[in-house]
Structure 1
Amino acid sequence: MSSNQVKPAIGFIGIGVMGKSIVRNLMKAGYSLHVYSRTKSKAEDILEEGARWHDNPAELAQHSDVVMTMLGYPHDVEEVYYGEQGLLKHAKPGTVLVDLTTSSPELAKRLEESARGQECFSLDAPVSGGDIGAREARLSIMVGGEEEVFQRISPIFEAIGTNIVYQGPAGSGQHTKMCNQIAIASNMLGVTEAIRYAEKAGLDPDTVLKSIGSGAAGSWSLSNLAPRMIKGDFDPGFYVKHFIKDMGIALESAEAMGLQAHGLSLAKSLYERLAASGEENSGTQALYKLYE
């Protein structure tokens, strides 16, 4: 897609914490955006900024060359793609359907097969980077599907991310995101325990971070979420409830492959305790509260 070509119209479904920032960055890059979300009020500000609202996925699909979805759970993906007003029944031939949701690898494979049957294309492209990465267009994007389709729409990915890697056939993006979530899950336990240990030892945790943040213990969570823990900022960059969903998918996939994921199992059990205490809509850094 060269700079003198007309940019494809993009449909975007799911105006959440990250989705809204992604839409803004796509508009900044010169794309026309058509949006739908279950709660229209969440989209009011981006509608004022130039996005066009549609009342359902079917209507949105008729005005879009590429449709991107960022939803909460696999059952939401099923509804948006396979429902009566779903994308697969109403997308124009040749439409590229891109699911940014962290979802099931098996569902991603099924979506590609269904899209091909409707003369459309499908990519699974889950992202990592949280609200900060979405806002600053620095997301990591892990893509599965046909490589030619990935190459064709890569300028769209470049408008929202900086680490964009084609991983292989359908489902590969989702499997890669499971690797990402598995690594984060155990790391979040270490980050939380390190901050709590520093406090118990009478240290200034901010000063401790200056030493450990850039050493062998360094991680995205330590640099970005530990400061939020220390400040008592538990607003979601990524919801506890969605992290539990991701860990559940990862555990199911691991078990199906005969892998025992001990750290992942422990992290999921602790986050489930956190959610049961009323923190399911907090950010993942709220794990800190479990140690109070």
Structure 2
Amino acid sequence: MTQDPRLPPVGFIGLGIMGQHMAGHLLDAGYPLHVYNRTASRTAALVERGATAHDTPAGFACCEVVITMVGYPSDVEQVYLGAEGLLAHAKAGTTLIDMTTSSPELAARIAALGAENGIGCLDAPVSGGDVGARDAKLAIMVGGDVADFNRAMPLFQKMGAKIAHMGPAGAGQHTKMANQIAIASTVMGTCESLAYARAAGLDAAQVLEAIGTGAAGSFQLNVLGPKMLKGDFAPGFFVHHFVKDMSIALAEAERLKLDLPGLALARKLFDRLVEQGHDQDGTQGLFRLYGAST
């Protein structure tokens, strides 16, 4: 892959089911790409295409922009705040973009620490799963300084189709929590709709076709619904990551003195799915609890 010397060097940390695609789009666009992943073997495909691999996040001091897409808030904390982390080694003027779904409070804390050293920090979680990442059609919700957002926009445009600045640091994460709260009840509703259709003796696939273009239509119904019926629980978005997201959202709701019974029920059901050993399923795996045939 030919790198464009006019483009700034970009670091990408976290090459999982979505990060691999997202980083690949930046490489395709000609950005000099530097990569790190805790499981080093996941850097191989991008290195073969021209990326440079590093052994620790500290190696990204050469990058003008560093993007992170890791798993949990504890991973974000280590990558940004650890002794070998980004804030300890990034130069003034660097822009750091965390695209992990993480804690709004942590995003605000990282941004404040970055500002003390002239480092711009954005929280920019995404929605769209592996398909959105693969097709560069992610929804990207961004919190942080507007000037930093504008500088990062060319990169966001290589990875997403809907990009919105939502407010100050932490606002991107709050927006993603709203997204996950909506999904939590919708995926339950899809499971219950299909379980009811089967119990009533209907052809559940035909039911999906009949109701999918009406008011019930959604990604959960139209895309994950057919997978549920086929017993295809391969992950586009892992159950264990969704449980993490719902846990963050419930903690924030408690802090805001907000009662969200639908979210609480969804988390309880997904917890049961994890207890049964299905934490590596995609979120459509919830259908297992409703009598999935597979």
Do they superpose with TM above 0.5? yes
Q: Percent identity?
A: 53
For residue 228 of structure 1, report the CA deviation from its aligned partner.
1.4
Equivalent residue number for residue 50 of structure 2: 50
- SS of the aligned residue for 1:62 comes to helix
Aligned partner of 2:12 in structure 1 is 12
Deviating beyond 6 angstroms after TM superposition, the runs of 4 or more aligned structure 1 residues are none
Contact 1:34 1:63 in 2 (8 A): no
- CA–CA distance in structure 2, aligned partners of residues 58 and 198 of structure 1: 54
Deviation at 1:64, TM superposition (A): 1.0
> What TM-score results when the alignment is normalised by the length of structure 1?
0.96
- Greater shift, 214-223 or 198-207, is seen at 198-207
Aligned residue in 2 for 1:248: 247
CA distance in 2 between counterparts of 1:242 and 1:108 reads 18
Unmatched segments (≥5 aa) in structure 2: none
Separation in 2 of the partners of 1:164 and 1:281?
29
User: Which has the larger displacement, 258-267 or 5-14?
Assistant: 5-14
Cα deviations by residue, 1:20-52 (Å, 9 ceiling, x for unpaired): 010111112221211101101122222212221
Alpha-carbon deviations, 1:68-124, whole Å to 9, x = none? 001111000000011111000011211100000111110010010111122110000
| Partner in structure 2 of residue 229 of structure 1 | 228
Corresponding residue SS for 1:265: helix
Judge which range, 203-212 or 70-79, deviates more.
203-212
SS for the counterpart of 2:142 is: strand
Cα distance in 2 between the residues matched to 1:53 and 1:91:
17
Partner AA of 2:205 in structure 1: D
- Residues 5 and 32, structure 2, Cα contact 8 Å, conserved in 1: no
Look up the equivalent residue of 1:248 and give its one-letter code: S
Once residues 5 and 46 of structure 2 are traced to their aligned partners in structure 1, the CA distance between those partners, rounded to angstroms, is 25
* Aligned-partner SS, 1:141: strand
- Report the AA paired with residue 105 of structure 1: P
Determine the structure 2 residue equivalent to 1:262. Answer: 261
| 1:164 aligned counterpart, secondary structure | strand
User: Which amino acid in 1 is paired with 2:6?
Assistant: V
- Code of the residue aligned with 2:239 in structure 1: it is V
- Secondary structure of 1:280's aligned partner: coil
Look up the equivalent residue of 1:54 and give its one-letter code: H
The whole-number CA distance in structure 2 between the counterparts of 1:63 and 1:116 is 19
1:287 aligns with 2:293: no
Please say which of residues 269-278 and 23-32 is displaced more in the overlay: 23-32
Aligned to 2:215: 216
Question: Alpha-carbon deviation of 1:281?
Answer: 1.2
Cα deviation 1:213-257 (Å, max 9, x = unaligned): 111001111122112112221111111111011001101111111
Matched residues in 1 for 2:74 and 2:29: separation? 31
Question: Which residues of 2 match residues 185-200 of structure 1 at below 5 A?
Answer: 185-200=184-199
The DSSP-based 3-state class of the residue aligned with 2:30 is coil
Paired position in structure 2 for 1:75 = 74
Contact 2:15–2:43 at 8 Å: present in 1 too?
yes
Task: Within 5 Å, give how 1:163-178 maps onto structure 2.
Answer: 163-178=162-177
Tell me, yes or no, if the aligned pair for 1:25 and 1:160 is still in contact at 8 Å.
yes
With over 3 angstroms needed to count, the CA separation of the structure-2 counterparts of 1:5 and 1:151, relative to structure 1, is farther
Secondary structure of the residue that 1:278 maps to in structure 2? coil
Question: Are the counterparts in 2 of residues 12 and 33 from structure 1 also a CA contact under 8 Å?
Answer: yes
CA distance in structure 2 between the aligned counterparts of 1:204 and 1:198, rounded to whole angstroms: 7
- Alpha-carbon distance between aligned partners in 1 of 2:278 and 2:205, rounded to the nearest angstrom: 24
Range with greater deviation from structure 2 (34-43 or 171-180): 34-43
Q: Could you tell me how far apart the structure 1 residues matched to 2:30 and 2:205 are?
A: 40
Aligned AA (2:17): V
Shift of 1:133: 0.4
TM-score, scaled to structure 2? 0.95
Distance in 2 (alpha carbons) for counterparts of 1:181 and 1:251 = 11
Aligned pairs, how many?
288
Runs of 5+ consecutive residues of structure 1 not aligned to the other structure: none
Contact 1:240 1:275 in 2 (8 A): yes
My pick for the range that moved more, 187-196 or 136-145, is: 187-196
Correspondence list, 1:27-42, <5 A: 27-42=27-42
3-state DSSP of counterpart to 1:156: helix
Letter in 2 for 1:235: A
CA positional deviation for 1:5? 8.8
| Structure-1 separation of matches of 2:142 and 2:5 | 24
- Amino acid in the other structure paired with 2:81: Y
